[in-house]
Structure 1
Amino acid sequence: MLEKKTIDYEKVVLIGIINQEQDEEKSREYLDELEFLAYTAGGEVATRFTQKVDIPNPKTFIGTGKMEQIREYVSENDIGTVIFDDELTPAQQKNIEKILKAKILDRTSLILDIFAQRAQTSYARTQVELAQYQYLLPRLTGLWTHLERQRGGIGMRGPGETEIETDRRIVRDRIALLKKKLEKIDKQMETQRGNRGALVRVALIGYTNVGKSTLMNVISKSDVFAENKLFATLDTTVRKVVIGNLPFLLSDTVGFIRKLPTQLVESFKSTLDEVREADLLLHVVDISHPNFEEHIASVNQILDEIKSADKPTIMVFNKIDNYEHETIDEDDLVTEKTTKHFTLKEWEQTWMSRLDSKDVLFISALNKENLEEFRKKVYDSVREIHVTRFPYNSFLYPEYEEGL
């Protein structure tokens, strides 16, 4: 009998701030997400610290009193890693490290570490490595001595482990080499995309962990890796899918996230070409997440940045089986009704009034709820694009009938 493998989670502490841009509630939401990121990377959160700061301390990001409180907790509880929700400057990271005598990460380095774990193909690994080196370059002075003291674990995967003696010149050379390598692969991928013929291209997009890969598996009957962790898949998967007798190409893209590191946006821009070149976007949303509307805004912002915001889009609200809402007692005349009290039906009416009703869907990919309606909408949208492009063979694809 095989022995069950247990995961050794690192004990970590999270640090967040409250300021004019993010109030206490917003800070808590960001730390919730940071905790999920830490769990995905292999960390177990022991506690969280927050502080109200209008302007971060240029030396230690947070105030000296709070820093001393954290130092005592880290020392007494044998904490090896402290993670800040905002990006630290190289000087701040070095100073905090000296005070806390622990591994110091920020949100960016944590996301980079998860990407380093998740990258499967040579292309994804090259993209991640480039982003890591770009992030590490200004931090070289303080980083190597720290790595000599403690190696491995969260934030330590990738180039840091083997390049202890690396100086800035060699790192810059490595960055230039990786950029050339990516340019070469980009050209190959561009050729591959060009060779896909006249099929309509559909791209699954959305915040990370909304169920894109699960939906991909259901639609294409393929076996794309899906897991309840952030960034379960990095590599774009493209499958030929047929609904009825209508074929099209479906791609599953990397998930988006708030505060996405600029290094990753830059490194993964060719992965986002699948989105840029798509004829139709399926924007998948986890409606069971309390902040799903903010997730939608984050995705729309990135779509705007890559000039894809005006593409035909179907909003696919997934995980309706997990949706819960707060209820108000009929006799309660004090509590004001807000969106957190909305039923699914009310959300459906809200979004159908905001958008064209034919571009809104509510489904459960996992439980296969409302998938017939989903297939019909996708079929009709793909058919419309195909018929516009090739009017002479429109007779090949009749109107959708249930059971096609």
Structure 2
Amino acid sequence: MTKTFSTALKKETAVLVALTVGRQREEQTLEYLDELAFLAETLGVESQKYFMQKLERPDIRTFVGKGKLEDVRAYVVDKGIDMVIFDDDLSPSQMRNLENELKVKIYDRSLLILDIFLKRAQTAQAKTQVELARFQYLLPRLTRMWTHLERQRGGTGTRGGAGEKEIETDRRVVREKITLLRQKLKQIEKQSEVRRKSRDGIARVALVGYTNVGKSTLMQLLSKSDIFAENKLFATVDSTVRKVNFGDIPFLLSDTVGFIRKLPTHLIESFKSTLDEIREADILMHVIDISHPSYENHMEVVKTTLTDIGVKDKPTIYVFNKIDQLKDEEPDVLHENGLSVSQKLEQLKATYMARGNEYSVFISAVNKENIEELRHILFQEVKKIHMRIYPNYLQNETY
């Protein structure tokens, strides 16, 4: 009888670890761990268990306390877990200590996000940006037990027995790569700048928002083009630009990378040229997943990130997406505060639409609900920009 063997790669397994610090609620910590599990799933890693601990501050040596570390180790050994992922960034010494203690691969939040970006990047610019950010992050974190360069070398397994000499070799290799990637990125950025300058004379609109809020689906809808959209975090890493016509008024619509809390600093720095699509836009469309329980927190993360990259006071249309996921099969069912979902939605509309000069529109991109209202608002804003560029333009109210 002929034996057959599966050549499929075994899915890596992980346990996730987070601290509840200060006044943070455990429910919030659990929500953060759910997001971390979604990140791990996006990278193809299966999360087996959550570990939470309440501390005033992270342990300087091992992030978690001695007892909790022992619990994690026991579970890792018993279940044969491949890696432990922490929801916060680890210092180089914490990462080394944890690898020595747990004898498996250690990831922190930033490294997980960087690896997802590396997997998702398609264009030469995005790949170079992510590689640069990743190597800058890893340089002080190389350890004797194994290095995260394994992914670059074609495998994910632990490399045991590597000595100090090999670490120094790795560090030298990383420094050389950083130098080369910076040079390559400068050349790519020059080319990108030329392309962006060639777009002068046309209004520019950029989609921004937390990751997985439906920006790419909305981009498909407005531009009537085949843009990749998927229910995963960071489905879009590369900026996508499409020319759209509303009647006889053209404008450029950009879909940009989604933001997330604790976005790695190196990644923001490396993606500056890509984020220029946002900086140079005339109008922002801030897409929000209204069905997510933490949508207000997500809005604040996006606003903070925009401030961090130097984007302030741009005309913004707030697009509250996924209203279809808010609706009940039984509309009379009461929820929080004694309101039905439809009543709550009306209350939200009244609240956000009353805010100053900001536009707010509530839609379902998947079900194409209220899209005409959004198109009308967008048309009016794009027309204002178009009229500034071409003051003698003959106005046409239809699109």
Distance in 1 separating the partners of 2:333 and 2:284: 40
- Report the CA distance shift for 1:126/1:354 in structure 2 as closer, same or farther (over 3 A): same
TM-score, structure 2 normalization: 0.89
CA contact (8 A) 2:142 2:167 kept: no
Partner SS for 2:48: strand
Mapped pair 1:378 → 2:378: yes
Distance 1:340 1:219 in 2: 27
Superposition pairs of residues 202-351 of structure 1, within 5 angstroms: 202-323=205-326, 343-351=344-352
Paired residues of 1:209 and 1:231 also in contact (CA < 8 A): yes
Q: Secondary structure at the match of 2:177?
A: helix
Cα distance in 2, alignment partners of residues 247 and 154 from structure 1? 51
Aligned to 2:396: 398
Q: CA deviation at 1:234?
A: 0.7
Distance of aligned partners of 1:180 and 1:146 in 2 relative to their CA distance in 1, 3 Å threshold:
closer
Is 1:45 the equivalent of 2:47? yes
- Of 177, 181, 184, 1:181 maps to 184
Secondary structure at the aligned position of 1:38 is classed as helix
Structure 2 residue aligned with 1:194:
197
**% identity of equivalent residues:** 54
CA distance in 1, matches of 2:331, 2:49: 31
Describe how 1:25-174 pairs up with structure 2 within 5 A: 25-142=27-144, 144=146, 152-153=155-156, 166-174=169-177
The offset of 1:88, in angstroms, is 0.7
Q: CA deviation at 1:143?
A: 5.8
Q: 2:16 aligns with which of 11, 14, 38?
A: 14
TM-superposed deviation, 1:138 = 0.3
Q: Give the SS at the match of 1:271.
A: helix
Q: Which residue identity does 1:351 align to in structure 2?
A: Y
CA distance in 2, matches of 1:339, 1:172: 58
**SS in structure 2 of the partner of residue 272 of structure 1:** helix
CA gap 1:338/1:82 in 2 versus in 1, 3 angstroms: farther
State the shift of 1:196 in Å.
Answer: 1.6
Cα deviations by residue, 1:160-208 (Å, 9 ceiling, x for unpaired) = xxx9874433322321221121111111111101112301001011111
| 1:55 positional shift | 1.7
In structure 1, what is the Cα distance between the partners aligned to 2:59 and 2:203? 52
What amino acid sits opposite 1:41 in the alignment?
L
Query: For the residues of structure 2 that align with 1:135 and 1:327, how far apart are their CA atoms?
Result: 50
Superposed CA RMSD in Å reads 2.8
The answer to whether the 8 A contact 1:144-1:165 is kept is: no
The alpha-carbon deviation at position 147 of structure 1 amounts to: 7.0
Q: Secondary structure of the residue that 1:83 maps to in structure 2?
A: strand
Q: How far does residue 141 in structure 1 lie from its aligned partner after superposition?
A: 3.7
Judged with a 3 Å threshold, the aligned counterparts in structure 2 of structure 1 residues 83 and 145 are, in CA distance, closer, same or farther, namely closer
Match of 1:399, as an amino acid? E
Quote the Cα distance in structure 2 between the aligned partners of 1:384 and 1:190.
25
Structure 1 residue 399: deviation in Å?
1.9
CA contact (8 A) 2:331 2:340 kept: no
Identify if the C-alpha distance between structure 1 residues 232 and 195 changes in structure 2 by more than 3 Å, giving closer, same or farther: same
CA contact (8 A) 2:288 2:320 kept: yes
Deviation at 1:245? Answer: 1.9
Deviates more, 1:23-32 or 1:101-110: 23-32
Find the residue that maps to 1:343 and give its secondary structure.
helix
1:198–1:155 Cα change, 3 Å: farther
2: distance between equivalents of 1:347 and 1:6?
48
Cα deviation for residue 145 of structure 1 reads 6.2
| 1:125-173 deviation line (CA, Å, top 9, x unaligned) | 100100111011101243646878x9834999xxxxxx98744333223
**TM-score, normalised on structure 1?**
0.88
- Find the aligned partners of 1:28 and 1:204 in 2 and give their Cα distance: 29
Check the 8 A contact 2:286/2:318 in 1, yes or no.
Answer: yes
Distance in 1, matches of 2:323 and 2:108, equals 33
Task: Give deviations 1:68-106, integer Å, cap 9, x for gaps.
Answer: 111111111111111000011111111111222211100
Give the structure 1 partner of residue 3 of structure 2. Answer: none
- Aligned pairs for 1:357-372 within 5 A: 359-372=359-372
The 2-side partners of 1:207 and 1:399 are apart by 33
Q: Which runs of 5+ in 1 are unaligned?
A: 157-162
How many positions carry a matched residue from both structures?
384
Q: Aligned in 2, Cα 1:174/1:147: closer, same or farther, shift over 3 Å?
A: closer
2:277 maps to a residue whose letter is E
Deviations 1:228-256 (A, max 9, x none): 00000111011100112211001100100
Q: Is the 8 A contact 1:13 1:79 kept in 2?
A: yes
